[in-house]
Amino acid sequence: MRILENVRGRDAYIIQTTVFPANDSFMELLFYVDALKRASAASVTAVIPYFSYAKGDKKDEPRVSIRARVCANCLEAAGIDRVITVDLHAPQIQGFFSKPVDNLTAGPILVDRLRREGLRDIVIVSADAGFAKDARRFASYLGAPVAIADKRRVAHDDSAEVLGILGDVAGKVAVIVDDFAISCKTLVGNAGHLRAMGATEVYAAITHGVFSVDAAQRLDDSAIKKLFVTDTIETHPVALSKRVETVSVAELLGEAIRRIHRGESVSRIFDWRDPRV
C-alpha cells in the first residue's frame, strides 16, 4: 500500500468503514494508518462510520475474546491518533482507546427524515430495553410517546425471540428505532407484534444497515412500510429491499472533520441533548 500524495507534516484523515468484508476492511485500515505514519503525517485520524466487532464489548461467557478491545489495541499499535465513529453499539468502547474517540450520533438526521415523512400520531418503539434511552431522545424531538419491545436471546448468535410490546400503540403509527440491523428478524418480529396490537402502520429508523443476504426478502414480506437507514455502510453483498431508504451522514462526518482540523469543539454535533432542557 502506497500513499500517492505528500503528507509530511500534515493532518491525515482516513475514511474507512469496516464491514463487507469486515476482516479485509479492518486490515486495510491498519495498513493505511501505518503507511501514513511512515510518510511522516503529523497526525492520523481514522473516520470509521461503522465500527465492526462493536458487539464484542464484554466477556459475557468463559473463554471468549473481547473483540472490540482487540480492534482498539490494533489501531493504537498501528499509530492512530484519533477516531471518529457513528453510534457505537456500546458507548463504553470509547474507553478501550487511550486516544480521543468522537462517537457521533445519526439520531438527529433520522429524526429530520421522519419529520419530512409527515407522519402523524406516532409512537416511538425501542427495539429492545437496551435502546430505550436513545428511543426517548427520538420521542422528545418528535413529541411522541415511547413503547419498548421485550425480547430475549435464546442462543449464542444474533437470533432473538420477541415476547411482546410494552406500551400503548393501538391506533398509532409505530416507528421502531435501533442502532443496527443484521438479519432484520427482530425488526420484523416487532412489526408483527405492533400490527397485532393495533398499530395502523409500522416504520423503522436505524443507523447501521448490516444486512445479511436474507434480510431483503424478510423485509419485503414484513409489516414494515419503510425502513430508513444511514449510509455508514456503503457496500452490501446483495441488493437492498425496495422498502429501504438511505439517509446520508456525509455532512455530519464532514463537519466533525472540519471542527477537529481547525481545533474547534465537536461537542455540539455529537451531544444529543433533550430539546426540552
126-162 tens-digit pLDDT: 999 889 999 999 999 999 999 999 876 655 555 666 7
Tell me the C-alpha distance between 115 and 119, whole Å.
Answer: 7
Segment 167-172 shows an average pLDDT of 96
pLDDT tens digit string along 234-273?
A: 878 789 999 999 999 999 999 999 999 999 988 877 666 5
Stretch 114-133: mean pLDDT = 95
Picking from 249, 250, 246, 204, the residue whose alpha carbon sits closest to that of residue 229 is: 246
173-183: average pLDDT? 96
Cell output for 165: 410490546
Q: Is the pLDDT of residue 216 over 90?
A: yes
Instruction: Enter the C-alpha cell of residue 46.
Output: 481514522
Q: What is the pLDDT of residue 2?
A: 72
Active-site position among 58, 59, 99, 151:
151
Q: Per the structure block, which three cell numbers stand in for 143?
A: 413529541
Q: Tell me, what's the pLDDT at 277?
A: 42
Cα–Cα distance for residue pair 109/167, rounded to 1 Å: 25
Q: Where in the chain is the domain with CATH 3.40.50.2020?
A: 11-105+251-270, 107-247
pLDDT in tens, 38-86: 999 999 999 999 999 998 888 878 888 999 999 999 999 999 999 999 9
200 exposed, middle or buried (CB, 10 Å; 0-12, 13-18, 19+)? middle
pLDDT in tens, 6-47: 899 999 999 998 999 999 999 999 999 999 999 999 999 999
Does residue 99 carry a catalytic annotation? no
What's the whole-number mean pLDDT along residues 181-197? 94
Query: What is the per-residue pLDDT for 59?
Result: 86
Output b/e per residue, 224-256; b: 16+ Cβ within 10 A.
bebbbbbbbbeebeeebbebbeebebeebbeeb
CATH code that applies to domain 11-105+251-270: 3.40.50.2020
Q: State the sign of the Cα–Cα–Cα–Cα dihedral 111, 117, 121, 127.
A: negative
> What is the reported pLDDT for 164?
83
The strand ranges marked E within 95-223 are 101-104, 122-126, 146-152, 161-166, 173-181, 201-209
DSSP annotation of 38 reads H
Interatomic CA distance for residues 158 and 174, integer angstroms: 24
The fold of the 107-247 domain, in CATH, is Rossmann fold (3.40.50)
With beta carbons less than 8 A apart as the criterion, state whether 58 and 64 touch.
Answer: no
Alpha helices (H) along 143-249: 185-196, 215-220
- Identify the three-state secondary structure at position 267: helix
